[in-house]
Structure 1
């Protein structure tokens, strides 16, 4: 199975649409066989699902993600695990072990807020729908 993680400095990057790198893992049912870091070369929201599909990605682990990107990934046949945080390698190991901590209902709606470029998904712009805060 090929798994991609939004990636920055060893961690799960928290804004799918601004991902400059993905860490791509080749796995079997229980372990990581190999991994590589792939640059997106400036691909934005719309092109990232195609980028992942071209790599043969079956699963994506990420932080915040918007509705349009969710739809594009679904159309590409990529299973999504949003709302993950922490060390990228550890998140993949947790997924393979069946205990990944993620938030399936998280929706990033940062485009509806007026603020500067310093925004980090996971702060005010991302909501975990259906879960009490």
Structure 2
């Protein structure tokens, strides 16, 4: 299993489409084998799902994420664990232990689209252009 976490300064970065790094965790038999921090090289939004697929990722742990990016991850057969906050290493360990708190209905609530549209309090409802 290969898990990716949106990553910044040891924490789960809170907006998938703007993450500059992923921390990758290679896991076998419930044990952590290897970790690596990977730069996104400016890839944004939908392109990030393709990058994760190329890296062999099958599970993503992140904070906020929009509907378009969720669809791209689903198309790439990458399991989404969203709405996660805090330390990235601890989040992965909690996931492996089956104790990670996450939001199965996560939507983007952490950013401004820069297109005159802001998610505001309605949480996007899947119409974000990720």
Which TM-score bucket, shorter chain as reference? 0.7 to 0.9
Helix, strand or coil: the match of 2:123? Answer: strand
User: Structure 1 length normalisation: TM-score?
Assistant: 0.84
- Superposition CA RMSD, Å: 1.9
- Which runs of no fewer than 5 residues in structure 2 stay unpaired? 126-130
Name the SS of the counterpart of 1:85 in structure 2.
coil
Structure 1 residues 20 and 126, CA, compared in 2 at 3 Å: closer, same or farther? farther
CA distance in 2, matches of 1:87, 1:56: 23
Contact 2:7–2:19 (CA under 8 A) maintained in structure 1: yes
The structure-2 alpha-carbon separation of the partners of 1:128 and 1:36, relative to structure 1 and needing over 3 Å to count, comes to same
2:80 corresponds to = 80
Q: For this pair of structures, how many residues does the alignment match?
A: 120
In structure 2, relative to structure 1, the CA distance for the partners of 1:128 and 1:44 (3 Å cut) is closer
Superposition map of 1:1-12 within 5 A: 1-12=1-12
Could you tell me the TM-score, scaled by structure 2's length? 0.86
1:42 aligns with 2:42: yes
Q: Which runs of 5+ in 1 are unaligned?
A: 115-123
For 1:107, what is the secondary structure of its paired residue? coil
> Which of structure 1's runs of 4+ aligned residues deviate more than 6 A?
none
1:45 and 1:62 map into 2 onto residues whose CA distance is: 13
Mapped to 2, the partners of 1:128 and 1:30 lie a distance apart of: 35
Which residue matches 1:15? 15
CA distances 1:90-109 after superposition (whole Å, capped 9, x unpaired): 00000100011111101115
Secondary structure (helix, strand or coil) at the match of 1:5 reads strand
Match of 2:91 in 1: 91
Quote the offset at 1:128 in angstroms: 9.7
